[in-house]
Amino acid sequence: MIMRIRGVVLPEREERTFWVDGERLRSEPPAGAAAKRVETVVDGGWLLPGLVDVHTHPGAESPDDRFDEALLRRHLSEHRDAGVLLVRTPGTAERMPGWVDTETELPRVRSAGQWLATPGRFFPGAGRDIGEDELAAAAVEEATAASGWCKVIGDWRWDEPAVPLDVLKATVDAVHAVGGRVAVHCQTSEGSHNVRLAHEAGVTVLAGTDTFPCGTVATESQWLLRAGMPAEEALGAASWTARAWLGLPGLIDGAPADLVAYDQDPVAEPAALGQPKRVILRGRIVR
Cα separations (Å) of 74 from 107, 109, 277? 11, 14, 22
68 class by beta-carbon count within 10 Å (0-12 exposed, 13-18 middle, 19+ buried): middle
Comparing 67 with 278, which gets the higher pLDDT? 278
For 1-50, give the DSSP string: -EEEEEEEETTTTEEEEEEEETTEEESSPPTTGGGS-EEEEEEEEEEEEP
Is the CB of residue 146 less than 8 Å from the CB of residue 140?
no
> What pLDDT shows up at residue 189?
64
> What pLDDT shows up at residue 157?
85
Is the CB of residue 6 less than 8 Å from the CB of residue 15?
yes
d(CA 281, CA 51): 11
Is the CB of residue 25 less than 8 Å from the CB of residue 280?
no
Comparing 111 with 49, which gets the higher pLDDT? 49
Phi, psi of 117 (to 5 degrees): -120, 125
Residue 73, pLDDT > 90, answer yes
Ordered by where they begin, the domains of the chain are 2-49+249-285 (2.30.40.10), 51-223 (3.20.20.140)
Is the CB of residue 47 less than 8 Å from the CB of residue 13?
no
Name 262's bridge partners: 46
d(CA 43, CA 244): 26
User: What pTM was computed for the model?
Assistant: 0.88
Name 19's bridge partners: 4, 26
The pLDDT-based confidence of 101 (bands split at 50, 70, 90) is: confident
The 10s digit of each residue's pLDDT in 148-188 is 899 999 998 888 889 999 999 999 999 999 999 998 888 86
The 10s digit of each residue's pLDDT in 232-275 is 999 999 999 999 999 999 999 999 999 999 999 999 999 999 99
* Burial per residue of 247-267, b for 16 or more beta-carbon CB atoms within 10 angstroms, e otherwise: ebebbeeebbbbbbbbeebbb
Residue 191, pLDDT > 60, answer no
Is the CB of residue 112 less than 8 Å from the CB of residue 151?
yes
d(CA 155, CA 162): 4
The pLDDT-based confidence of 192 (bands split at 50, 70, 90) is: low
Residue 60, pLDDT > 80, answer yes
Is the CB of residue 155 less than 8 Å from the CB of residue 163?
yes
Three-state SS letters, 132-183: HHHHHHHHHHHHHHCCCEEEEECCCCCCCCCCCHHHHHHHHHHHHHCCCEEE
| Maximum pairwise Cα distance, the chain | 69
64 class by beta-carbon count within 10 Å (0-12 exposed, 13-18 middle, 19+ buried): exposed
Comparing 64 with 212, which gets the higher pLDDT? 212
The pLDDT-based confidence of 35 (bands split at 50, 70, 90) is: low
